[in-house]
Structure 1
Amino acid sequence: MLYYIFRWLDQFGVSGSHLWSYISFRSILALVLALVISAWFGEKFIKYLKRKQITETARDEKIDPFGVNKVGVPSMGGIIIIVALLIPVILLGRLRNIYLILMIVTTVWLGFLGGMDDFIKIFRHNKEGLKGKYKIVGQVSIGLIVGLVLWASPDVKSNLNMELGQKNGQEIVVKHSEKAEKTLKTTIPFVKNHNLDYSKVMGFCGEHSVAAGWILFVIMTIFVVTAVSNGANLNDGMDGMCAGNSAIIGVALGILAYVSSHIQYAAYLNIMYIPGSEELVVFFCAFIGALIGFLWYNAYPAQVFMGDTGSLTIGGIIAVGAIIIHKELLLPILCGIFFVESLSVILQVWYYKIGKRRGVKQRIFKRTPIHDNFRTQDSQLDPDCKYLIRVPHGAKHEAKITIRFWIITILLVALAIITLKIR
C-alpha cells in the first residue's frame, strides 16, 4: 500500500520517495515494523487472552520432570505472529505480485485452520481439537491452490540458468535465458549444473509428459505443504522451540529469495533467476521480525503459546516460500529438525504397532516427538515396556534442549546455503 503511494509521489520529485523502490529498504523496514508490532501487540493480546481465560488446558505436566505447570498459560498466540506479519507486508509489499499474494493467502488460510483447532480445544474442552481428517483436508486444499496457481498464472516465470563453458580454463560461465518462461525445473542440492525436471521424471508419458509433470508438481506441492506444516506443529512442544527454529529457517529462505531475484547472484550460484521473487524478501523479513518479537513472550518460561494457529501457519509459509523459489528439495536440510520430529513419531507408532501384534509392549524412544525424549526421566518410563533407545539417562531442561535445537537448525541452514556453492 505505502509502496504504491510513494512510487506515485516519486513522479512529482518528492524527496525520499525513491527509497521505496529499493528492496533492501522495504525489507529492513518490514523486519523492524513486524518486531515492534509483535512486541507491542503481544503484551496487550496476552492480557486480553488472560481476561477471557483463553488459556492452555491440555498440557500434560507429567512430561516435564522439573514440575513446571503450564496449564493456564494463554494460547492462540499465533494470532500475534500473523498480525505482526501481515501488517508490514500489506503496507510495504507490492500487493499485485503473485508470489506475495500466495504467501498472504497461505498465511490467512492456515491461520484460520489452526485457529479452529485451538478454538475447539479451548472452548469446546476437546483436547484432540479439530479432527485430523479436516486438518489434512485444509492443508491439502492450500497446497492444491498454490500448485494450481503456480501452474496456471502467466506471471509465474523463470529465466533458466545455462552453462556456456569455461572462462580462462578455470571458471564456468553461467548466463540465463533471455526470455522468462514457465518451467518445471527445481534445484537439486549437491548436484552440479543439474536441476530436476518434473516433466522428464514423467517422460514415460510421452507427448503428455509436460502435462503429467505439472500434475506431479501439484502433488509435490500438496505433499510438501502438508509435511512441513505438520512438522512445525510437532516441533511446537517447548517454549521458544518452534518460533526460534522457524526464524532461523526464515533467514535462509529470505537469502535464497534474494539471490534468486538478483540475476548476477543467480548466475554466480548457478540457480534459476526468478523475476518478482524479491517481494518474498519483504515477506520473510516481516516473518523473522514477527517471530523474534513473539519470542519475547514465548521464551522460557512462556507467557503465551502460539498454538496450532501459529505452528500450522509457520510450516505452511516455509513450504510455500521454498516451492515458489524452486528450492523445495532443500527443505529436508533446511527443516531437518521438523523432519526428524515427524519421523520420530512415525517410527514410534510403527514400532509400537509391530510389538502390539506380537503381544509385546515396545517403543523406540522414551517419548515422541523426539524433543520430549530428552526431557524424560528414566523413572517416568513404563516398567512393562521395552525401550530400544533409553538415552540420554536423566532429563535435560527444556531451555537447554531448545537452544541446542536452534544450534542444530543454524548448522543445517548453513549447510543448505553452501550446497548451492558446492554445486
Structure 2
Amino acid sequence: MLYHLLYPLSQDYTVFNVFRYITFRSIYALLTALLISIVLGPKFIEWLRKIKFGQYIQEDGPKHQNKAGTPTMGGLLIGASLLGSVFLWGDLTNKFLWLTIFVFLGFGLVGFVDDYLKIVKKQNKGLSAQTKFLGQTIVALGVVSILVNMPGYTTELLVPFFKDIRPDLYLFYIPFAIFVMVGASNAVNLTDGLDGLAIGPVVVCAACFALFVYVTGHSQLARYLQIAYIPGVGEVTVFCGAMVGAGLGFLWFNAYPAQIFMGDVGSLSLGGCLGFIAVLCKQELILVIVGGLFVVETISVILQVGYFKLSGGKRIFRMAPLHHHFELKGVPESKIIVRFWILSILLALVALSTLKLR
C-alpha cells in the first residue's frame, strides 16, 4: 500500500525513490511485522486466555503438564503481523507475491481447522492425517499448476554445488514441487514441540531464502552466480522479510518459558511457505540443507515408526521427534532449543555457500 501511495511521488520528490528498492522495503517489512507482533502480542494472548484457547498436552510424552492451558493458535498473530506488513510494503501487482500469500492462507486454513477441532470440539487428534494431507495437497497443486505456466518459470531442477547439472523434470515437476511444499509444512509441524524450537529455525530459513529469492529476481546477480533468473520473483523478498519480523515478534512471547504456542495454524502455514519459496526461486534441494533441522526431525519420526512396526515394538529413540529423545535423556529444554538454533544457523551458512561453490 505504501509502495503504491508513495513511490509515484518520487517524480516530484526524490526522497520517495527509495520505495523502488526491494531491499529497503524488505528491511522495513521486517521491522513493521516485528512491531505489530510485539504491540498486539499481549492483548492477543490475553484474549486467547479469556476464550480458553489453551494447549492440550499429551500424557504419553515428556512431562510438560505445567504447559497445559498455555494459549495456542499463535499462528494467527504471526499471520496478522506478516500479512499486515506485506500489504504495507509489498508491490501488490506482483503475481508471485500473491501466490505466496495464497499458500500462507491455504496451509494456514488447514492448520486452523485442525486446531479448532482440538481446542473447541475437544477432538484431541484434530483432523485425520489423511484429511490434513489432502488439504495441503490441494493448496499446493493449485498454486504449482499456476506457477509452472507463468512466463519465465522453468521446470528444471538446480543441483547445489553443480552448475551444469540441471535436469528438466517436465510434468514430473508438479508432484515434486507438491512433495516439497507438503513435506516442509509437516516437517515444521513436527519440530514445533518445545518453546521456540520451531520458530527460531523458521526465521533463519526465511532470512536465508530472502537472499536466494532476491538474487533469483535480479538479472545481473543471477547471471553472475549462474542460477535461474525469474523476472519479478524478487518481490517475494519483502514477504521473506516480513516473515523474519513476524517470527522474531512471535519468539518474543514464545521463548522459554512460552506465553503462547503457534499451533498448527502457524507451523503448517510457515512450513508450506518455506517450501513454496524454495520452489519459487528454484532452490528446492537447498531447502534440504537450510532446513536440515526439520529434515532430521522428520526422519527421526519415520525411522522410529518404521522400526517399531518391523521389530514388533522396539524403538531406536526414546521418543520421536528427536528433540523429545534428548528431553528424555535429561538434557534441559532450553539447552536443546539453543543448540538446535545454532545448528540451524550453521546449516544456513552452508546453504548460502552454494551460491559460490559450484
Query: Aligned to 1:146, which of 139, 143, 148?
Result: 143
Match of 2:255?
299
What is the one-letter code of the residue matched to 2:69? Answer: G
Match of 1:412?
347
Match of 1:399?
334
CA-CA distance at 1:194 after TM superposition: 2.7
Say whether 1:45 aligns with 2:35: no
Say whether 1:36 aligns with 2:7: no
Match of 1:87?
84
Residue 195 of structure 1 aligns to a residue in which SS? coil
Match of 1:333?
289
Report % sequence identity.
41
Asked if the contact 2:148–2:154 (Cα under 8 Å) also holds between the matched residues in 1, the reply is: no
CA-CA distance at 1:302 after TM superposition: 0.2
Match of 1:183?
154
Bigger Rg over Cα? 1
How far apart are the structure 2 equivalents of 1:319 and 1:46? 29
Asked if the contact 1:260–1:271 (Cα under 8 Å) also holds between the matched residues in 2, the reply is: yes
Residue 198 of structure 2 aligns to a residue in which SS? helix
What is the one-letter code of the residue matched to 1:14? Answer: Y
Asked if the contact 1:232–1:312 (Cα under 8 Å) also holds between the matched residues in 2, the reply is: yes
Residue 231 of structure 2 aligns to a residue in which SS? coil
CA-CA distance at 1:4 after TM superposition: 1.2
How far apart are the structure 2 equivalents of 1:83 and 1:275? 28
Say whether 1:69 aligns with 2:66: yes
Match of 1:263?
219
Query: Aligned to 2:96, which of 81, 95, 99?
Result: 99
Asked if the contact 2:57–2:67 (Cα under 8 Å) also holds between the matched residues in 1, the reply is: no
Match of 2:273?
317
TM-score, normalised by the number of residues in structure 1 = 0.82
How far apart are the structure 1 equivalents of 2:308 and 2:135? 29
Match of 2:3?
3
Match of 2:166?
195
Asked if the contact 1:3–1:20 (Cα under 8 Å) also holds between the matched residues in 2, the reply is: yes
What is the one-letter code of the residue matched to 1:17? Answer: F
Query: Aligned to 1:230, which of 186, 189, 192?
Result: 186
Say whether 1:120 aligns with 2:117: yes
Asked if the contact 1:348–1:365 (Cα under 8 Å) also holds between the matched residues in 2, the reply is: yes
How far apart are the structure 2 equivalents of 1:185 and 1:97? 23
Query: Aligned to 1:240, which of 190, 196, 199?
Result: 196
Match of 1:216?
172
Say whether 1:362 aligns with 2:314: yes
Match of 1:27?
26
What is the one-letter code of the residue matched to 1:367? Answer: M
Residue 57 of structure 2 aligns to a residue in which SS? coil
Uncovered stretches (5+) of structure 1, i.e. residues with no partner? 158-181, 199-212, 377-393
Residue 167 of structure 2 aligns to a residue in which SS? strand
CA-CA distance at 1:129 after TM superposition: 0.7
Asked if the contact 1:146–1:221 (Cα under 8 Å) also holds between the matched residues in 2, the reply is: no
How far apart are the structure 2 equivalents of 1:325 and 1:21? 21
CA-CA distance at 1:7 after TM superposition: 2.5
Asked if the contact 1:263–1:273 (Cα under 8 Å) also holds between the matched residues in 2, the reply is: yes
Say whether 1:345 aligns with 2:301: yes
Uncovered stretches (5+) of structure 2, i.e. residues with no partner? none
Asked if the contact 2:82–2:242 (Cα under 8 Å) also holds between the matched residues in 1, the reply is: yes
How far apart are the structure 2 equivalents of 1:68 and 1:131? 24
Asked if the contact 1:100–1:283 (Cα under 8 Å) also holds between the matched residues in 2, the reply is: yes
How far apart are the structure 2 equivalents of 1:62 and 1:369? 11
TM-score, normalised by the number of residues in structure 2 = 0.97
CA-CA distance at 1:58 after TM superposition: 3.0
Q: How many residues are matched?
A: 358
What is the one-letter code of the residue matched to 1:193? Answer: D
